[in-house]
């Protein structure tokens, strides 16, 4: 074969190779524009490395105005009518100061208006309208982008881009996970699931954000360290995170991202896929400290808390049960003035908890008993801090703790249910 012919073999191969290696560049763009949405979506596909499902495509993206978003939030609010059980449960959280009024959450849009998170925490409608850039609705399978014409400059544009990237991860997840899952056994279960869903979205949002840095001419950062940085910031600025319940919900984002970053560091996207399949079933599984030690995850089984016998026999009385989990316990302890180190170390030893809410039919009287069990005896200062204000009664016995509180004007007596007639 002549040299010319040999070269003729090579030419088409090089053309094919070149065609197969082209990659869409990333540029600053307006997320209300379709081309921008497509660019970001393709980039997220590339970052996750899972290929392309032709039936998935770009999920429908709707662009709405701030006024339309406000109307949507108001409509959602108006249609929510809580049941007596929900009212009693809400009252219990309030008595434990889980949902006490607090400073508004950090509203930079990066918190996500993500999957199922439109009603996150105590964020007011005004806050949401001003700070939410986009959200994914798993029911309509639509990403909604909120147009903020008054937010000009490069930073809102970049923020909008990584928020959209986050929401598009939810769209991809919607072909992998059951984002419409409604059967959860407890708040701990809900938050652990949230840690997986939101942590995944946060993690790839970080990788995308790093791409944006490079696009701006900055040196790439160690995005795998960012979840730790975010957690450190949250620990040191805990009082800025809003109510403890909201803080716990918020913390699941960087906790989940850290879980994935740890997997990614060890084995890239392949390890993340497998980590996905081994997601922690309890929030304690996400509480990896700076030492890298993953706390052992128990079954969560726990003894029953004491009950108010009189409320067991009251006609129409309401009872609700829940397991809060380690991350809400961390947030709870922080809200009751415990330092980060003590609260974190205590929460890491969580083996189970049982929250029992009893209320009269009109929810006028609510009694709360919360039993927490740990693998080691909790710090003695915890019971002291919890009881200091007189609102809670906290008793420690070995490695367990029982916390009771009520809004009843008359004293109530909690005792083992076996003692009730």
Partner 1 sequence: MLSRSSSVARRWPGLCATFLLLGFSPVSFAQPADAAPPPGYTPAPANPAPIASPANQPYPADLYGPAPEAPPVSAPPASNVAVVSAPAPENRRPYSLGVTLANSMASETNSTSFVTSPLLEGAYAVHRHVLVDLTLGFGWMIDNQGLGESTFRAGNPMLSGYYRDEAGPWRFQLGIGVTAPLAHVSLGPDGRLYESLYNRTLAAWGMWNQWLWLTDRMAMPLTLRAGYTFPCGTELAVEVADAWVFGVRGEASGTDLIVQEAIEVRIPIGLLFTLTPRFQTVLLPSASMDRWQSAAGLRGTLATKAGRFFAGFLVNLDEPLVAAGSGARWGFQLGKEVDL
Residues that bind partner 1 (CB under 8 A): 1, 5-9, 11-13, 16-17, 19-24, 38, 41-43, 45-46, 49-58, 173, 175-178, 196, 264-271, 273-274, 276-279
Tell me whether residue 171 is exposed, middle or buried, using C-beta atoms within 10 angstroms of its C-beta: 0 to 12, 13 to 18, 19 or more. buried
**Nearest to partner 1 of 58, 319 (CB atom):** 58
**Residue 344 · residue 289 · CB < 8 Å:** yes
**Nearest to partner 1 of 82, 268 (CB atom):** 268
**Nearest to partner 1 of 26, 319 (CB atom):** 26
Calpha distance 326→283 (Å, rounded): 6
**Nearest to partner 1 of 51, 149 (CB atom):** 51
Q: How far is the CB of 43 from partner 1 (least distance, A)?
A: 8
Q: How far is the CB of 201 from partner 1 (least distance, A)?
A: 13
Write the CB contacts of 146 (distance below 8 Å, at least 6 apart in sequence).
63, 64, 65, 66, 69, 129, 132, 133, 134
Alpha-carbon Rg for the chain, nearest whole angstrom, is 25
Q: How far is the CB of 145 from partner 1 (least distance, A)?
A: 16
H/E stretch holding 244 reads helix 244-277
- Which residues are 135's β-sheet partners? 144
**Nearest to partner 1 of 167, 379 (CB atom):** 167
**Tell me, what DSSP letter sits at residue 280?**
-
Pairing relation of β-strands 61-64 and 142-146?
parallel
Angle 160-163-166 from CA coordinates, rounded to 5°: 150
Q: How far is the CB of 60 from partner 1 (least distance, A)?
A: 9
**Nearest to partner 1 of 214, 388 (CB atom):** 214
**Residue 251 · residue 331 · CB < 8 Å:** yes
Q: How far is the CB of 144 from partner 1 (least distance, A)?
A: 18
Q: How far is the CB of 274 from partner 1 (least distance, A)?
A: 5
């Amino acid at each position: 074969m002549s040299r010319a012919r040999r070269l003729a073999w090579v030419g088409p191969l090089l053309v094919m190779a070149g065609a197969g290696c082209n990659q869409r560049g990333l540029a600053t763009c307006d997320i209300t524009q379709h081309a921008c949405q497509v660019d970001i979506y393709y980039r997220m596909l590339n970052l996750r490395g899972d290929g392309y499902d032709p039936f998935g495509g770009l999920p429908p993206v709707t662009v709405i105005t701030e006024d339309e978003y406000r109307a949507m939030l108001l409509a959602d609010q108006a249609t929510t009518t809580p049941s007596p059980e929900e009212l009693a449960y809400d009252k219990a959280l309030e008595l434990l100061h889980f949902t006490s009024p607090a400073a508004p959450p950090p509203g930079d849009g990066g918190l996500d208006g993500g999957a199922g998170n439109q009603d996150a925490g105590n964020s007011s409608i005004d806050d949401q309208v001003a700070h939410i850039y986009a959200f994914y609705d798993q029911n309509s399978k639509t990403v909604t982008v909120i147009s903020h014409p008054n937010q000009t400059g490069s930073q809102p544009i970049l923020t909008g881009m990584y928020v959209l990237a986050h929401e598009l991860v939810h769209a991809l997840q919607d072909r992998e996970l059951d984002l419409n899952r409604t059967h959860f056994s407890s708040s701990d279960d809900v938050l652990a699931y949230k840690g997986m869903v939101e942590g995944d979205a946060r993690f790839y949002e970080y990788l995308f954000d790093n791409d944006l840095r490079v696009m701006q001419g900055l040196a790439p950062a160690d995005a795998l360290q960012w979840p730790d940085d975010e957690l450190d910031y949250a620990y040191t600025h805990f009082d800025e995170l809003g109510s403890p319940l909201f803080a716990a919900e918020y913390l699941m984002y960087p906790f989940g991202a850290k879980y994935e970053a740890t997997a990614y560091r060890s084995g890239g996207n392949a390890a993340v896929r497998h980590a996905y399949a081994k997601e922690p079933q309890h929030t304690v599984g996400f509480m990896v400290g700076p030492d890298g030690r993953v706390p052992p995850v128990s079954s969560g089984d726990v003894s029953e808390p004491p009950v108010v016998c009189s409320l067991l026999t009251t006609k129409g009385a309401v009872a609700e049960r829940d397991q809060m989990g380690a991350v809400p316990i961390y947030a709870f302890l922080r809200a009751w003035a415990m330092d980060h180190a003590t609260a974190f170390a205590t929460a890491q030893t969580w083996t189970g908890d049982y929250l029992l809410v009893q209320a009269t039919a009109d929810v006028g009287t609510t009694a709360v008993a919360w039993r927490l069990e740990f693998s080691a005896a909790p710090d003695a200062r915890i019971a002291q801090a919890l009881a200091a204000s007189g609102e809670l009664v906290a008793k420690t016995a070995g490695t367990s703790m029982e916390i009771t509180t009520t809004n009843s004007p008359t004293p109530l007596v909690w005792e083992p249910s076996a003692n009730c007639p």
